[in-house]
C-alpha cells in the first residue's frame, strides 16, 4: 500500500512539474505539497530498495537486466510517440540513450547505487561507533552543505544522497532492527 501511495505522489508530482498545470498562486500550495510528496516518495522507494539490497551479493546480471528493461521501455515509448507526435531528433537520440544526459535521473542514480553497493557494504563493516560518527559527518556534508550553497539537482547529487540513505538503512538494520523484538532470528 505504501508503494502505491508513493507512486501516486510521483505521478502527480511529475504531472505538476512537466505540464505546468498549477500556475496560479492559489494553487502553488498544492504544487509545493505534491512536489514535496514526490521527493518523499522517491526517498521511500530508495529506503525500501536498499533494505533488501544490503543483504544481497553483488550481481552484475541484475544490474544489466534493470538497465535493459529501462532502455527497452524508454525506446518503445519513444517509438510509439514518434508515430503519433513530432519528436525532434535530439529528443529521439536522448530517449534511445536514457542514461546519458540525466533524462532518467532516478534510473541512473539507482543503477549507480547498485554498482556502489559492494563498497557501501564495506563501509557498513566498520565499528559501530565509527559508523555512527561517519553518519553524522556525512549528514553535515550532504544535508547542511545544501543550505550554504544553492541546491544543485543533478543525478550526481542523488547518487550521493542515495548512498547516504543506504548507509543509514544499513546502520539501522544492523544495529537497531536486528536487536529489536522484530529483528534477529
Model pLDDT for residues 67-103, shown as the tens digit of each residue:
999 889 888 888 888 888 887 888 777 777 777 766 6
Mean pLDDT in residue range 164-184? 86
C-alpha–C-alpha distance, residues 160 and 175, integer Å = 22
29 band by pLDDT with thresholds 50, 70 and 90: confident
Taken in order 181, 178, 117, 155, the sign of the CA dihedral is positive
17 by Cβ neighbours in 10 Å (0-12 / 13-18 / 19+) ranks as: middle
105 neighbors 154 (Cβ within 8 angstroms): yes
The domain limits of the chain are: 1-53
**Mean pLDDT, the chain, integer:** 83
Nearest to 53 by CA among 158, 181, 163: 163
Mean pLDDT in residue range 5-16? 82
163 band by pLDDT with thresholds 50, 70 and 90: very high
Q: What is the pTM of this model?
A: 0.82
Q: Percentage of residues in the chain with pLDDT exceeding 70?
A: 86
Give residue-wise pLDDT tens across range 105-129: 888 889 999 999 999 999 999 999 9
Amino acid at each position: 500500500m505504501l508503494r502505491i501511495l508513493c507512486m501516486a505522489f510521483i505521478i502527480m508530482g511529475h504531472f505538476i512539474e512537466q505540464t505546468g498545470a498549477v500556475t496560479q498562486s492559489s494553487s502553488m500550495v498544492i504544487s509545493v505539497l505534491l512536489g514535496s510528496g514526490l521527493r518523499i516518495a522517491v526517498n521511500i522507494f530508495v529506503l525500501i530498495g536498499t533494505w533488501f539490497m544490503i543483504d544481497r551479493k553483488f550481481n552484475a546480471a541484475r544490474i544489466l537486466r534493470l538497465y535493459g528493461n529501462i532502455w527497452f521501455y524508454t525506446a518503445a515509448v519513444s517509438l510509439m510517440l514518434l508515430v503519433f507526435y513530432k519528436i525532434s531528433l535530439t529528443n529521439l537520440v536522448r530517449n534511445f540513450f536514457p542514461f546519458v544526459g540525466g533524462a532518467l535521473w532516478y534510473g541512473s542514480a539507482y543503477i549507480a547505487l547498485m554498482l556502489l553497493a559492494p563498497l557501501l557494504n564495506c563501509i557498513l563493516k566498520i565499528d559501530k561507533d565509527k559508523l555512527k560518527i561517519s553518519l553524522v559527518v556525512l549528514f553535515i556534508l550532504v544535508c547542511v552543505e545544501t543550505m550554504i550553497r544553492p541546491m544543485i539537482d543533478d543525478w550526481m547529487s542523488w547518487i550521493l544522497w542515495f548512498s547516504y540513505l543506504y548507509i543509514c538503512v544499513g546502520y539501522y538494520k544492523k544495529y537497531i532492527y536486528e536487536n529489536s523484538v522484530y529483528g534477529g532470528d
